[in-house]
Amino acid sequence: MSDLQERESQKPEYLIEARNLVRMFGSRRERVTAVDDVSFGIREGEVVCLVGESGCGKTTSGKMIAGLLKPTSGQVLYAGKSVWNPRGEKGEDFKKFRLGVQIIHQDPYASLNPSHTIYQILSAPLLHHKLVANTREALERVAELLSIVGLSPVEDFLYKYPHQLSGGQRQRVSVARSLTVNPRFIVADEAVSMVDVSIRVGLLNMMADLKRDLGVTYLFITHDLAVAKFFAWEGRIAVMYVGSIVEFATTPQLINNPLHPYSKALLAAVPEADPELTRSKQRVELRSQDIPSLLALPSGCRFHPRCPYFEPGLCDVKRPEFLPVGEGRYVACHIAAREMRGSA
Amino acid sequence: MQEARSKMENKVVDVFKSKVPLTVEDLWVEYQIERGVVKAVRGVSFALARGESLALIGESGCGKTTLGVALIRLLVQAARIPKGEITYWRGNQGIDVLSLTQRELRRFRWRECAMVFQSALNAFNPVLRIWDQILDTAKAHGVMSRGQVRERALQLLEYVQLDPKRVIDAYPHELSGGMRQRVLLAMSLLLDPQVLILDEPTTALDILTQRTIIDLLRRLKEEIGFSMLFISHDLATAAELADRVATMYAGSIVEVGPVEDIFYRPVHPYTLGLIRAVPTVTGEFEALVSIPGAPPDLVAPPPGCKFHPRCPYVTERCRVEEPKLEPFYGEMHSVACFNVQRVQQDTLDLQERYAKYMGGKAA
Amino acid sequence: MTTEALIPKTGIRYWPARFLRGIVRFLKLMSRNKTGFVGFLLFIGFVLLTTVGPLFVPQAKSANIMEIYAPPCKLSQWVEFLRTSWFERVPHSEIKASSAPMCSEHLLGTDSQGKDIFAQIVHGGRDILQMALLTGLISTFVGVALGSLSALIGGGFDAFLTMLADIWLTIPRFPLLAVLATLVKLDNMLFLALLLSVLSWAGLYRSIRAQVFSIKERDYIEAATALDLGMWHIIFSEVLPNMLSYIAISFTFGMTSAIYAQVGLVFLGLVPLTRNWGVMINLAWTQGAIFFKDSVYFIMAPVTAIALFQLSIVWMSRSLEEIFNPRLRTG
């Protein structure tokens, strides 16, 4: 094999990978497992959405992948190399990882420092990491970034304070801030949830343009299935329930043919902005409305008390494994896996 | 009384004549802040028919919440109502809500018209059990005996699919968001009001919980038959629950009509903008369009139509003259815009859906 | 749009203009709160009185038995006195002869030794003020430094300091001071300031630590971590600017408690400092000034001066929050 071929074959399949991530909170007596054995990989240039209801562990998973939270056990791999070394300290190349992965927060009112002007917020990382030679270059680069995220005319925003901008504008500044260090991967944690409906689309389109023009990879965390579908139509969606991923498939696959009962229930339950569609939708009846408490998790499959396909003796005894079921899909359900195997 | 009735004869709401529990006429609400006067609600008129559910849709800053609390006079001290009438009709008796005394107001609220806020923890007193709060509410507004209240409360809690014994003695923080919303609904129905006003009933709830609340509301409305006014920014909730939808922008209603009209035959550029900006989950991928710009400053709004700086159909007339809400598709569907014909031309795809939907209904 | 055009034209070139604009903005923000503004003016008044005043008001004259507890002049006589002494430069001796018999030229009367009270007030405030400022600065500095480091570093360091602070807070400060005063000679002002700061660091440490904990959890701090901006940047550039109002108010309360501590010590006669308000109270007390009607000015003057000064600081702190509130800034 030539040098080039060797290097190509050694290139990791995934830009960022989570392997058996576990995160627990609390004291020794009262431990809560927020994230329980989550594994998936994201390829360069891809969009992966992490969807689920509140408390499912999606934000915790996102923060672990972004390196802002240390996993209790499991690995996060960036470009093939583990981010944390076995002793739990920062591995080598941690700085590359740190700058390569950025985060956009949910709350536009808390994500920008109220004491700084927009220019100060955006120029700080540029100057700190010596990405620009002097303040004049910093000014040029900041102006460039502001126009990339759609905040024009630039001089209207440079010296304003965050409280003078609207929610949507602040989110754009957040995105610009994350771009200052030329990241390869951005974790967007409910980035459009607190923004008005008519502004959301503009933000999402801007973020999609960044993917197209700069090759940015995204992990988009949201509870809104419609937004997930729109943003990740060409990507994949992972559905989480009570700390683990129950289904992982491409967006068209998930939307048109969900396999896990929870995914089916979610898709059937979502209200749609279309009267005919929403009033004629087939609902999935769940056996119980109670959301399990993290302190008293059900045995076996976490979803079994509510699952309409529940099989006693199987679902309440053995935890389903997260298995590939063909066409690049993964499901954690005994029934679904059996059906897919049967039809294979 | 005669005068009020004759004023109403001339209005679009004429259709509902003796079947209306609530009418609002030319309501204006203002707040005084440092910078100036915020005109939060500007000349809003509508009627809520018996047993119907009307959705008030708008984004942040459009005045919908202000309008909602104005209806039961829960506005803050700094707010003023310089003009307008809110009339509540019981049979043929009209009650002018704005001129009620404090005592009369206490009897009006909860018995005639109840308001349900978001299920957040701060809708409850955290140190009181649910039963104490129910009893307090009943005592404050009615003369029912303790035993009667208890019975009715247990009945209602069961009706909203909660375990009555468990919930009635619980503290608010012990209940989940969905359960709290159901308790609020049960509490609102305690004294059997004619009108229910809901402020963001399903926001901040998980998808599956939202579903149960929406189904519950639908069932309650069908079985009990109260009128419902719900305020939301969520078009999907309106699509689920509403009989009629009114879109609000910068303090006034820009379009109002039956739900299928608003979603499949919108004629106001803002309504159309909203519909084109909201994705659906099932079905094919749709390209979405955002509305450029931002809502106007309500202290010094632009002249003419308040939406004109963001409107793709803007003309010179829009910049100077503010359009009035006028019937378009018959009496039931009114819009405030000068360019409806051009908007119509851009909604041919939606209009096809309308024909299909109406055809399906007729069949 | 060239980058040249983007550099803000805020008169950076001329620093006097910028300075003046800063002052104007400062005053405008101060005046948002009425009580705060009054407190601020009062505070400035005291500062001027005690620092600039001594240049205009001569030291209290030596004892004059004839003039013990002379009452202060009425307002009209004050005006007359000022007019004749300042504008017409009539020497004191001549005024004395011409003024009414019951009034002396002393604005606030005289003390038990016949010395002018007003002059003593003017000259006696400087010690107190210097002490207050110094103690305030040192204790705030120590409290902020330890509190923020503790919150940011966490772990064993934080646990140790918190335990230390908890124990420290149980020590009764004033009796300890009194005991120390008997063992050590407390005549150096800097030393006294240091001592007072050391004794009162714990309270400030705890409140700053709590404040930093709450700021630490905010999203923009997490973003700064993700951008790898480093601990120093986070402390000085991200956290501290949002705590400025808190720090300023803590500083003012540090001043007030330092004043009380010092006056208390002096009143008890434990600290051999020069003639200041505390010493005046001590003298008045020991001379039994509270028992006579005539001598009431002697004891009330320093007490009122201290009380008013404290009040001005407390009132002023109400405005400080406005000054440091970033939401009132416009770019």
pLDDT in tens, B22-74: 889 899 999 888 888 999 999 999 999 888 999 999 998 888 989 998 998 88
Query: Sign of dihedral through CA atoms B278, B282, B285, B286?
Result: negative
Q: How far is A102 from chain B (nearest CA, A)?
A: 26
Which residues in chain A are closer than 8 Å to B209, comparing Cβ atoms?
Answer: 53, 289
Which residues in chain A are closer than 8 Å to C241, comparing Cβ atoms?
Answer: 113, 115-116
Residue scoring higher pLDDT (C247 or C295): C247
Please determine, for residue A158, whether its predicted confidence score (pLDDT) is greater than 80.
yes
Q: What's the domain count of chain B?
A: 2
Inter-chain touch A103–C8, beta carbons under 8 Å: no
- Taking the C-alpha atoms of residue B347 and residue B361, their distance in angstroms, rounded to an integer, is 21
Domain boundaries, chain C: 31-58+112-328
Q: How far is B108 from chain A (nearest CA, A)?
A: 34
* B242, B258, B288 - which closes a domain: B242
B320 and B211 inside one domain:
no
**Which of A203, A223, A226 comes nearest B206 by C-beta?**
A223
Q: What are the tokens at B169?
A: 């003695």
Residue scoring higher pLDDT (A98 or C59): A98
Q: Check whether the bond before B312 is cis (ω within 30° of 0).
A: no
Residue appearing with tokens 């069949």:
B363
Going by DSSP bridges, is the β-strand pair A16-25/A32-42 parallel, antiparallel, or unpaired?
antiparallel
B92 and B238 inside one domain:
yes
- A285-311 pLDDT tens trace: 888 888 888 888 888 899 999 999 988
Q: Which of B31, B24, B16 is nearest to B56 (CA)?
A: B24
B296 touches B250 (CB < 8 A): yes
Walk across the sheet containing B330-335 and list its strands. Answer: B113-116, B195-199, B227-232, B53-57, B244-249, B252-258, B330-335, B326-328
Q: Which of B87, B74, B82, B95 is nearest to B29 (CA)?
A: B82
Q: What are the tokens at C73?
A: 């002049």
- B310-324 pLDDT tens trace: 999 999 999 999 999
Which residues in chain C are closer than 8 Å to A111, comparing Cβ atoms?
Answer: 219-220, 223
Inter-chain touch C223–A177, beta carbons under 8 Å: yes
Single-letter amino acid, residue C124: G
C243 touches C152 (CB < 8 A): no
- Taking the C-alpha atoms of residue C114 and residue C99, their distance in angstroms, rounded to an integer, is 18
Which residues in chain B are closer than 8 Å to A233, comparing Cβ atoms?
Answer: 285
Residues in chain C: 331
Inter-chain touch A139–C223, beta carbons under 8 Å: no
Q: Which of A343, A326, A336 is nearest to A258 (CA)?
A: A336
Please determine, for residue B1, whether its predicted confidence score (pLDDT) is greater than 60.
no
- Taking the C-alpha atoms of residue A301 and residue B240, their distance in angstroms, rounded to an integer, is 32
In a domain, B144, yes or no: yes
Inter-chain touch B207–A198, beta carbons under 8 Å: no
pLDDT value of residue C105: 60
Cβ pairs A/C, distance under 8 A:
94
The answer to whether B274 contacts chain A (CB < 8 Å) is yes
Strand partners, A38: A21
- Taking the C-alpha atoms of residue A90 and residue A98, their distance in angstroms, rounded to an integer, is 10
The answer to whether C11 contacts chain A (CB < 8 Å) is no
Residue B108: helix, strand or coil by DSSP? helix
B71 and B187 inside one domain:
yes
pLDDT mean over B287-292: 88
Q: What are the tokens at A83?
A: 């981010």
Please determine, for residue A173, whether its predicted confidence score (pLDDT) is greater than 80.
yes
Please determine, for residue C268, whether its predicted confidence score (pLDDT) is greater than 80.
no
pLDDT value of residue B5: 41
Single-letter amino acid, residue A202: G
The answer to whether C218 contacts chain A (CB < 8 Å) is yes
Inter-chain touch A111–C3, beta carbons under 8 Å: no
**In chain B, what are the helix, strand and coil shares in percent, each to the nearest 5?**
40, 25, 35
Inter-chain touch A291–B176, beta carbons under 8 Å: yes
The answer to whether B280 contacts chain A (CB < 8 Å) is yes
The answer to whether B260 contacts chain A (CB < 8 Å) is yes
**Which of A110, A129, A180 comes nearest C218 by C-beta?**
A110
Strand partners, B109: B113
Inter-chain touch B292–A202, beta carbons under 8 Å: yes
Subunits with 3+ Cβ pairs within 8 Å of A are B, C
pLDDT value of residue C88: 61
Phi/psi at C290 (5° precision): -75, -10
The DSSP symbol for A328 reads: T
Inter-chain touch A269–B237, beta carbons under 8 Å: no
Q: What is the DSSP string of B156-178?
A: HHHHTTS-HHHHHT--GGGS-HH
The answer to whether B148 contacts chain A (CB < 8 Å) is no
Which residues in chain B are closer than 8 Å to A278, comparing Cβ atoms?
Answer: 236, 239-240
Query: Sign of dihedral through CA atoms A264, A270, A275, A279?
Result: positive
% of residues, chain B, pLDDT over 90: 37
B27 and B77 inside one domain:
yes
Which residues in chain A are closer than 8 Å to C330, comparing Cβ atoms?
Answer: 160-161, 164
B164 and B274 inside one domain:
no
Q: Which of C78, C67, C74 is nearest to C111 (CA)?
A: C67
Walk across the sheet containing A47-51 and list its strands. Answer: A101-104, A185-189, A217-222, A47-51, A236-241, A244-250, A330-331, A323-324
Query: Which residues 26-55 of C have a C-beta within 8 angstroms of A?
Result: none
Q: Which domain holds residue B19?
A: 2-242
Q: Do B and C touch, counting CB pairs below 8 Å (3 needed)?
A: no
Please determine, for residue A6, whether its predicted confidence score (pLDDT) is greater than 90.
no
* Residue C72 burial (CB count, 10 A): 20
**Which of B260, B273, B288 comes nearest A275 by C-beta?**
B260
Q: What is the DSSP string of C145-197?
A: HHHHHHHHH-HHHHHHHHHHHHHHHHS-HHHHHHHHHHHS----HHHHHHHHH
In a domain, B140, yes or no: yes
Distance spanning both ends of chain A, measured CA to CA: 37
Single-letter amino acid, residue A12: P
pLDDT mean over A138-160: 91
Q: Which of B5, B18, B21 is nearest to B53 (CA)?
A: B21
Architecture of the domain whose range is A12-110+182-257: 3-Layer(aba) Sandwich (3.40)
The DSSP symbol for A79 reads: T
Residue scoring higher pLDDT (B90 or B194): B194
Q: Where are the alpha helices (DSSP H) in chain C?
A: 3-6, 15-30, 34-51, 53-56, 75-82, 92-98, 117-153, 155-170, 173-183, 189-216, 219-226, 231-233, 244-267, 277-286, 296-324
Q: Nearest-CA residue of chain B relative to A286?
A: B208
Q: Which stretch of DSSP H or E encloses residue B8?
A: helix B2-9
Residue appearing with tokens 């408490």:
A293
pLDDT value of residue A235: 94
In order of A298, C31, C138, C144, C317, the CA distances from C251 in angstroms are 54, 20, 9, 10, 9
Single-letter amino acid, residue C265: L
* Residue B135 burial (CB count, 10 A): 18
Fold of the CATH domain C31-58+112-328: MetI-like fold (1.10.3720)
Strand partners, B330: B328
Subunits with 3+ Cβ pairs within 8 Å of C are A
Inter-chain touch A161–C237, beta carbons under 8 Å: no
Which residues in chain C are closer than 8 Å to A118, comparing Cβ atoms?
Answer: 331
Domain boundaries, chain A: 12-110+182-257, 258-344
Q: What is the ipTM of this complex?
A: 0.87
- C155-213 pLDDT tens trace: 889 999 999 999 988 988 888 888 887 787 767 777 888 888 888 888 889 988 998 99
C101 touches C32 (CB < 8 A): no
- Taking the C-alpha atoms of residue B255 and residue B324, their distance in angstroms, rounded to an integer, is 10
Per-residue pLDDT band at C272 (split at 50, 70, 90): low
In order of A210, B209, B220, the CA distances from B216 in angstroms are 42, 11, 6
Query: Which pTM value belongs to this model?
Result: 0.84
Inter-chain touch B211–A205, beta carbons under 8 Å: no
Q: How far is A241 from chain B (nearest CA, A)?
A: 12
B38 and B137 inside one domain:
yes
Subunits with 3+ Cβ pairs within 8 Å of B are A
Single-letter amino acid, residue A262: Y
* B225, B242, B259 - which closes a domain: B242
B28 and B160 inside one domain:
yes
Residue scoring higher pLDDT (B69 or A87): B69
pLDDT value of residue B317: 93
Q: Which of A252, A222, A232, A258 is nearest to A333 (CA)?
A: A258
pLDDT value of residue A328: 85
The answer to whether C220 contacts chain A (CB < 8 Å) is yes
Q: Can you give the CATH number for the domain in which B205 is found?
A: 3.40.50.300
Query: Which residues 196-255 of A have a C-beta within 8 angstroms of B?
Result: 196-205, 223, 225-227, 229-230, 233, 255
Per-residue pLDDT band at C5 (split at 50, 70, 90): low
The answer to whether C8 contacts chain A (CB < 8 Å) is yes
Inter-chain touch C226–A68, beta carbons under 8 Å: yes
